Amino acid sequence: MADLSIREATARDAGTILGFITELAIYEKAEHEVLATEEDICNSLFGENSSAHGLICSLDGEAVGFAIYFFNYSTWLGKPGLYLEDLYVRPEQRGGGTGTEILKHLAGIAVARGCGRFEWSVLDWNEPAIKFYESLGAKPQDEWIVYRLTGKALTDLAAGSVS
């Protein structure tokens, strides 16, 4: 394998990250859903109240992929978990183990931080990915459904809150 390096992203990577987010969205035919600006990335990943983190993966010194992760929580364990929100490797770099190296790096962060688990989500029709994740020993939490409140439904619920 060529010279692969993985490091924590910093505010100077915001433009690179937005570029990768846009490439990922084009790949997923979801470009119209990308509303993030470089300023949003700066504030949300590197600002005072940021709660998510980025990784930049470089091959021979050139950035070829990124990951966004944050810490979630296991109530039964009373410990954090690590959740991988997004992982993207440029198409021309795929198949060489780059994605696996990013997963290994994240597993290392999870263990170092004392996390009880490492989680991510997959679309239920993505059988090659599912097969790969199961080969790593990951187990599907398929009895759980995430519910999402957004837009007006969210602000309406908030408006009725007691203080």
3-class SS at 37? coil
Residues labelled catalytic: 133
Give the contacts of 105 (CB within 8 A, at least 6 positions apart).
6, 55
For residue 134, the minimal CB distance to its own copies (Å) is: 8
For residue 62, the minimal CB distance to its own copies (Å) is: 17
Number of residues in contact with its own copies, rule: CB under 8 A?
82
- Residue 46 in contact with residue 84, Cβ under 8 Å? no
For residue 23, the minimal CB distance to its own copies (Å) is: 12
For residue 114, the minimal CB distance to its own copies (Å) is: 8
Which residue's CB is nearer to its own copies, number 35 or number 91?
35
Which residue's CB is nearer to its own copies, number 28 or number 94?
28
Cα 30 versus chain centre, distance: 16
Binding mask 113-142 for its own copies (x = CB under 8 A): x--xxxxxxxxxx----x--xx-xxxxxxx
If 0-12 CB within 10 Å is exposed, 13-18 middle and 19+ buried, where does residue 70 land? middle
Which residue's CB is nearer to its own copies, number 95 or number 151?
151
Out of 12, 29, 131, 152, name the contact with its own copies by CB under 8 A. Answer: 152
Of 1-30, which residues contact its own copies (CB under 8 A)? 4-6, 18, 21, 24-25, 30
Distance CA 154, CA 50 (A): 21
Of 28-87, which residues contact its own copies (CB under 8 A)? 30, 33-37, 40-41, 43-44, 49-52, 68, 70-73, 75-80, 83, 85-86
Q: Which contiguous run of DSSP H or E holds residue 74?
A: strand 62-74
Distance CA 36, CA 90 (A): 20
R_g over Cα of the chain: 17
